[in-house]
A and B are shown apart, each in its own frame.
Chain A
Amino acid sequence: MTKVSMRINGEQVNADVDGAQLLAYFLRDKLNLTGTHIGCDTSQCGACVVHLNGRAVKSCTMLAAQADGADITTIEGIQKNGELHPVQRAFQQHHALQCGFCTPGMIMAAVDIIENTNDLDEHSVREQLEGNICRCTGYQNIIAAILSAAKEMRG
């Protein structure tokens, strides 16, 4: 067992984890944060994306032990004072989700894209979504939602 200590959605979490415990299962099984999903085993679908120290990572491709000392944000943690995050709101407004399974990872990826990419346009958003697969939407409304949220977040 390995001792880990991290902040998850603003709260301190201390735990003993198995060395082989993946961060995604740690979040889902131990902390009941089931918004983080697992959709593949080759690190490609991106349903498991969370933020680690402010950057998007695949929680199914990281050991919980590797996240020791980190600040983690999951889909459950991006609302502020009960208000939806602008990206969440944009996803709803633009019908950027259907079955909802890829959505948490997609939203977490989108927040990172908006916060860390200059000069977003349709082309660059598509490129930056390389690591997130959606089978329902054809991506069109996801792109629209991200561009709209980016505009709002950048004022």
Chain B
Amino acid sequence: MSNTGIGARIERTEDKRFITGNGRYTDDINLPGQVYASFVRSPHAHAKVTGIDAKDALALKGVVKVFTGKDMEADGLGGLICGWTVTSKDGEPMKVGGHPSLAPERVRYVGDCVAVVIGESREAARLGAEAVAVSYEELDAVVEPAQAQNQNAPKVHEDIDKNLCFHWELGDKEATDAAFDKAAHVTHLDIVNNRLIPNAIEPRAALGDYNPGSGDYTLYTTSQNPHVERLVLSAFVGVAPEHKLRVISPDVGGGFGSKIFVYAEETVCLWAAGKIQRPVKWTAERSESFLSDAHGRDHVTRAELALDGDGRFLALRAHTVANLGAYLSTFSSSVPTYLYGTLLSGQYDIAAIHVEVEGVYTHTAPVDAYRGAGRPEATFVVERLVERAARETNKDPAELRKKNFVTKFPHQTPVILNYDTGDYNACIDRASEMIDYKSFDKRRKEAQAKGKLRGIGFSTYIEACGLAPSNAVGSLGAGVGLWESAEVRVNPTGNVEVLTGAHSHGQGHETSFAQLVSDRLTIPIEDITIVHGDTASVQFGMGTYGSRSAAVGMSAIDGALDKVITKAKRIAAHILEVQPDDIELADAAFRIKGTNKFIPWGELALNAYTAHKFSTSEIEPGLKETAFYDPTNFTFPAGCHICELEVDPQTGCVEIVDYVAVDDFGTIINPMIVEGQVHGGVLQGIGQALLENGVYDVETGQLVTGSYMDYTMPRAHDAPPLRLDFTNTPAPSNPLGVKGCGEAGAIAAPAAVLNALTSAIGHENISMPATPAKVWRAIQT
């Protein structure tokens, strides 16, 4: 290992600009002649729009223009799309309700955009938006997924019966039912997986620009995947052809999934910039983020686990109603289906699994991928079931898990996935040792003596990451391939630019990716720049989500590096008059093996471009290679998290007193960055378990938790100190052996916390988020 290569704990190269205030986020960018957009949003959960009168708004000083959905329709613009078609168990494709950027006739959730006001200043636009008089005919709304299919539930989309988008299943129902019939014990569980609101600290923003001379559009926006954004805005919405649209996603202040999607606001800004031929800017206020960012989770599930008399898991079945919100967001249909049902085998050898998911529309903000996306929901089902089964059958929860772990690989689960590698015992053993599991009873007694209830809970999670083999996802309904691209440009002076289709919005790609390049090319990390986030410079790429950028994005870079090295060796061989096989690259020089004859890296690069010393009929000049990498399988990060907590029975307050996480992420590129990902993910998971809840009023459909006054964001004193360790079974499906680490914490933590909490209070009757008020009440019963 070099001191900056793979495995090195080095400081991040991107930090300097952020710690000095020199980050460049979308809202930091201003263009000459820029105007501001403010959206007129529906105050109702469900209503007919019977009239829009912009007269008063247009009369205000500084108001430039007002557009409505009719204006967009008149321009022939399409609506927003969902890129994954889920097929129901009856063979029918999912039912898709139209999703116009500006609702022309009907609004379907509080915050749905009805019109946009363009103003000379932020405030002028906002005052203009308040002055637009929209007439609504209010209609009844349904916000709870469990009620969406009721006979008398109001329809979100008039042509979609029972608000049912899809009724999907996976697994063998007959085999599962048969296994349940012969079970010695069945554990039941009813779970609500609470709605979360992502809350990246940088609010979404967009700046659309149009050049009437060239017909070129440029969109600066807070996107995790600028190429996908461009593809959707071109091919589906039709704002501009792909080659006439440049999407730039500069520094992005966190995403957690919420910035994958193509939203109404940036669509409107881009289109409006063309209409009025001035740059149009919009930056969400936090209250708009709460209303309009795609939310996460929101499942209602009944699940059962069948065990034999010996404690072996025979079968698992689950029925889930997933809230999709008012419209399908960009990837929303995949989240409660293929990213959820496929993970229900957990780390266990379970012969039969059957899951049914009803995806329903409600009058709430669209729900889509949020850190973990389906996998936290699956882990919560499996790990809560297993813990409960252990309690019901008087078995040690660690031992029951170990008895049922998959230990032989590859392992084909009954729900599509084929686990390629892992060592689940190693993780649980190490985590148990770290938290001193065997002495827990002693600690519980000590807590009791000071009036506290102490509990311990395991979560042995698995996730499918490194999204994803394109063939596989294509066969499951994805409208895109999930490969990644990379281009390695060696400049004549020897320094290197790497262009990647992945996008960094906090993950530290500029450092991790450069570590790979430094490692492979044996050049200093200072000589490497990672370029991302601009469709004009980077070739088509798929962006960052699903813990894919190391496994897929870096593998693409690795492929391009292979090609660069091969070509460079050929050039070196020419110059040194030997065969390419005789050349080795080490210490930034191409050397004839076993000799001291060499060409330094920089000289070779220059030679590649001067092309004086080799035959250009045999070797093309230049040193720049591209690779597209499609993984052969998902990757399967897995691990064991154990939470130990104390409850103050007087107030219901929960204090996490210890939390250990032992994760197997395969090869680790930069341990410091990986630890940071775990820290952040775990706190988001703890947030889901104890603090965060997106709540709509059942009667009015208003978002009750629409600001930080009511939506509980984890703060520094809510975060326990975490203790981490890692095991390593390298992923066989990619050349680097990496598995991905971005989502693990958010996937593992909720089950660990709730398992600990139910262990502390002695019963299972508590739901997430387990707020002090809820915990106190649970203790009373």
A3 to B719, CA, bound (A): 44
- Asked if B7 is an interface residue, CB under 8 A from chain A, the answer is no
Q: When the two chains form their complex, are residues B286 and A41 in contact, meaning their CB atoms are under 8 A apart?
A: yes
- Asked if A100 is an interface residue, CB under 8 A from chain B, the answer is yes
- Asked if B170 is an interface residue, CB under 8 A from chain A, the answer is no
Give the residues from 197 to 219 in chain B that come closer than 8 angstroms, CB to CB, to chain A: 199-203
Q: When the two chains form their complex, are residues A93 and B11 in contact, meaning their CB atoms are under 8 A apart?
A: yes
Write out the residue numbers on chain B whose beta carbons fall within 8 Å of the beta carbon of A53: none
Q: When the two chains form their complex, are residues B286 and A102 in contact, meaning their CB atoms are under 8 A apart?
A: no
Q: When the two chains form their complex, are residues A45 and B200 in contact, meaning their CB atoms are under 8 A apart?
A: no
Write out the residue numbers on chain B whose beta carbons fall within 8 Å of the beta carbon of A38: 27, 203, 283
Nearest-neighbor residue (CB-CB) of B288 within chain A: A41
A42 to B289, CA, bound (A): 13
Contacts A95-B672, A98-B507, A98-B676 given; indicate if A44 touches B716 (C-beta within 8 A): no
Q: When the two chains form their complex, are residues A88 and B20 in contact, meaning their CB atoms are under 8 A apart?
A: yes
- Asked if A153 is an interface residue, CB under 8 A from chain B, the answer is no
- Asked if A4 is an interface residue, CB under 8 A from chain B, the answer is no
A75 to B30, CA, bound (A): 20
Contacts A138-B680, A139-B719, A140-B721 given; indicate if A99 touches B202 (C-beta within 8 A): yes
Cross-chain contact of B707 among A28, A41, A84 (Cβ < 8 A): A41
Write out the residue numbers on chain B whose beta carbons fall within 8 Å of the beta carbon of A132: 715-716
A121 to B456, CA, bound (A): 27
- Asked if A103 is an interface residue, CB under 8 A from chain B, the answer is yes
A134 to B715, CA, bound (A): 7
Nearest-neighbor residue (CB-CB) of A129 within chain B: B716
- Asked if B596 is an interface residue, CB under 8 A from chain A, the answer is no
Nearest-neighbor residue (CB-CB) of A43 within chain B: B708
- Asked if A76 is an interface residue, CB under 8 A from chain B, the answer is yes
Q: When the two chains form their complex, are residues A139 and B202 in contact, meaning their CB atoms are under 8 A apart?
A: no
Shortest C-beta distance, A38 to chain B (Å), equals: 8
Contacts A35-B21, A75-B21 given; indicate if A98 touches B506 (C-beta within 8 A): yes
Shortest C-beta distance, B502 to chain A (Å), equals: 15
Q: When the two chains form their complex, are residues A35 and B20 in contact, meaning their CB atoms are under 8 A apart?
A: yes
Write out the residue numbers on chain A whose beta carbons fall within 8 Å of the beta carbon of B30: 29
Q: When the two chains form their complex, are residues B19 and A97 in contact, meaning their CB atoms are under 8 A apart?
A: yes
Write out the residue numbers on chain A whose beta carbons fall within 8 Å of the beta carbon of B256: 135
* The stretch of B103-111, B247-255, B767-775 that contacts the partner chain: B247-255
Write out the residue numbers on chain B whose beta carbons fall within 8 Å of the beta carbon of A44: 708-709, 713
Q: When the two chains form their complex, are residues A40 and B15 in contact, meaning their CB atoms are under 8 A apart?
A: no
Cross-chain contact of A141 among B201, B202, B676 (Cβ < 8 A): B676
Nearest-neighbor residue (CB-CB) of B198 within chain A: A135
Q: When the two chains form their complex, are residues A76 and B20 in contact, meaning their CB atoms are under 8 A apart?
A: yes
Shortest C-beta distance, A53 to chain B (Å), equals: 20
Q: Which of A28, A39, A122, A135 has the most CB of B within 10 A?
A: A135
Nearest-neighbor residue (CB-CB) of B709 within chain A: A42
Cross-chain contact of B201 among A29, A34, A39, A95 (Cβ < 8 A): A39
Q: When the two chains form their complex, are residues A84 and B20 in contact, meaning their CB atoms are under 8 A apart?
A: yes
Shortest C-beta distance, B505 to chain A (Å), equals: 6
- Asked if B699 is an interface residue, CB under 8 A from chain A, the answer is no
Q: Which of A39, A122, A134, A140 has the most CB of B within 10 A?
A: A140
Write out the residue numbers on chain B whose beta carbons fall within 8 Å of the beta carbon of A125: 716
A20 to B707, CA, bound (A): 22
- Asked if A119 is an interface residue, CB under 8 A from chain B, the answer is no
A130 to B508, CA, bound (A): 26
Could you mark each residue 1-37 of chain B with 1 if its beta carbon is under 8 Å from any beta carbon of chain A, else 0? 0000000000110111111111111011010000000
- Asked if A136 is an interface residue, CB under 8 A from chain B, the answer is yes
Chain A interface size range: 35 or more
A104 to B16, CA, bound (A): 12
- Asked if B683 is an interface residue, CB under 8 A from chain A, the answer is yes
Shortest C-beta distance, B745 to chain A (Å), equals: 8
- Asked if A56 is an interface residue, CB under 8 A from chain B, the answer is no
- Asked if A17 is an interface residue, CB under 8 A from chain B, the answer is no
Q: When the two chains form their complex, are residues A122 and B19 in contact, meaning their CB atoms are under 8 A apart?
A: no
Shortest C-beta distance, A40 to chain B (Å), equals: 4
Q: When the two chains form their complex, are residues A140 and B719 in contact, meaning their CB atoms are under 8 A apart?
A: yes
Q: When the two chains form their complex, are residues A35 and B201 in contact, meaning their CB atoms are under 8 A apart?
A: no
Contacts A97-B18, A98-B680 given; indicate if A136 touches B254 (C-beta within 8 A): yes
- Asked if A107 is an interface residue, CB under 8 A from chain B, the answer is yes
Q: Is the interface of A mostly helix, strand, loop or mixed?
A: loop
Q: When the two chains form their complex, are residues A45 and B201 in contact, meaning their CB atoms are under 8 A apart?
A: yes
- Asked if A58 is an interface residue, CB under 8 A from chain B, the answer is no
Write out the residue numbers on chain A whose beta carbons fall within 8 Å of the beta carbon of B92: none
Give the residues from 107 to 148 in chain A that come closer than 8 angstroms, CB to CB, to chain B: 107, 122, 125-127, 129-130, 132-143
A85 to B721, CA, bound (A): 26
- Asked if B472 is an interface residue, CB under 8 A from chain A, the answer is no
Q: Which of A37, A95, A97, A107 has the most CB of B within 10 A?
A: A95
Q: When the two chains form their complex, are residues B676 and A130 in contact, meaning their CB atoms are under 8 A apart?
A: no
Q: When the two chains form their complex, are residues A99 and B21 in contact, meaning their CB atoms are under 8 A apart?
A: no
Q: When the two chains form their complex, are residues B505 and A99 in contact, meaning their CB atoms are under 8 A apart?
A: yes
Shortest C-beta distance, B28 to chain A (Å), equals: 4
Shortest C-beta distance, A137 to chain B (Å), equals: 5
Could you mark each residue 699-715 of chain B with 1 if its beta carbon is under 8 Å from any beta carbon of chain A, else 0? 00000000111000111
- Asked if A26 is an interface residue, CB under 8 A from chain B, the answer is no
A20 to B126, CA, bound (A): 14
Shortest C-beta distance, A55 to chain B (Å), equals: 19
A47 to B199, CA, bound (A): 13
Write out the residue numbers on chain B whose beta carbons fall within 8 Å of the beta carbon of A104: 18-19, 21
Write out the residue numbers on chain A whose beta carbons fall within 8 Å of the beta carbon of B682: 138
Q: When the two chains form their complex, are residues B22 and A99 in contact, meaning their CB atoms are under 8 A apart?
A: no
Give the residues from 590 to 642 in chain B that come closer than 8 angstroms, CB to CB, to chain A: none
- Asked if B717 is an interface residue, CB under 8 A from chain A, the answer is yes
Q: When the two chains form their complex, are residues B672 and A88 in contact, meaning their CB atoms are under 8 A apart?
A: no
- Asked if B673 is an interface residue, CB under 8 A from chain A, the answer is yes
Cross-chain contact of A76 among B21, B287, B681, B719 (Cβ < 8 A): B21
Shortest C-beta distance, A127 to chain B (Å), equals: 6
Q: When the two chains form their complex, are residues A135 and B21 in contact, meaning their CB atoms are under 8 A apart?
A: no
Shortest C-beta distance, A29 to chain B (Å), equals: 8
- Asked if A33 is an interface residue, CB under 8 A from chain B, the answer is yes
Q: Which of B681, B709, B717 has the most CB of A within 10 A?
A: B717
Shortest C-beta distance, A43 to chain B (Å), equals: 9
Q: When the two chains form their complex, are residues A84 and B201 in contact, meaning their CB atoms are under 8 A apart?
A: no
- Asked if A66 is an interface residue, CB under 8 A from chain B, the answer is no
Write out the residue numbers on chain A whose beta carbons fall within 8 Å of the beta carbon of B505: 99
- Asked if A79 is an interface residue, CB under 8 A from chain B, the answer is yes
Write out the residue numbers on chain A whose beta carbons fall within 8 Å of the beta carbon of B254: 98-99, 101, 135-136
Write out the residue numbers on chain A whose beta carbons fall within 8 Å of the beta carbon of B25: 34, 37, 101
- Asked if A74 is an interface residue, CB under 8 A from chain B, the answer is yes
Q: When the two chains form their complex, are residues B679 and A134 in contact, meaning their CB atoms are under 8 A apart?
A: no
Cross-chain contact of A99 among B16, B28, B253, B675 (Cβ < 8 A): B253
Write out the residue numbers on chain B whose beta carbons fall within 8 Å of the beta carbon of A29: 30
Q: When the two chains form their complex, are residues B708 and A99 in contact, meaning their CB atoms are under 8 A apart?
A: no
- Asked if B527 is an interface residue, CB under 8 A from chain A, the answer is no
Q: When the two chains form their complex, are residues B707 and A143 in contact, meaning their CB atoms are under 8 A apart?
A: no
Contacts A137-B679, A139-B683 given; indicate if A100 touches B23 (C-beta within 8 A): yes
- Asked if B722 is an interface residue, CB under 8 A from chain A, the answer is yes
- Asked if A92 is an interface residue, CB under 8 A from chain B, the answer is yes
Cross-chain contact of B679 among A74, A103, A141 (Cβ < 8 A): A141
Q: When the two chains form their complex, are residues B719 and A100 in contact, meaning their CB atoms are under 8 A apart?
A: no
Q: When the two chains form their complex, are residues B20 and A135 in contact, meaning their CB atoms are under 8 A apart?
A: no
Q: When the two chains form their complex, are residues B15 and A101 in contact, meaning their CB atoms are under 8 A apart?
A: no
A102 to B178, CA, bound (A): 54
The chain A residues found within 8 Å of chain B, CB to CB, are 20, 25, 28-29, 33-42, 44-45, 47, 74-76, 79, 84, 88, 91-93, 95, 97-104, 107, 122, 125-127, 129-130, 132-143
Known interface pairs A100-B14, A129-B717; 10 further A-B residue pairs with C-beta atoms within 8 A, sorted by A's residue number:
A34-B28, A37-B253, A75-B19, A93-B11, A95-B672, A98-B680, A101-B201, A102-B253, A126-B716, A133-B715
Q: Supply 25 A–B pairs (Cβ within 8 Å), ascending by A.
A: A34-B21, A34-B27, A34-B28, A35-B21, A35-B22, A42-B709, A44-B709, A44-B713, A79-B20, A92-B12, A95-B673, A98-B506, A98-B676, A99-B200, A100-B17, A101-B201, A102-B201, A104-B19, A122-B721, A130-B715, A130-B717, A135-B201, A135-B684, A139-B716, A142-B716
The 6 closest A-B pairs by CB, nearest first: A35-B21, A101-B253, A100-B18, A99-B506, A138-B679, A98-B506
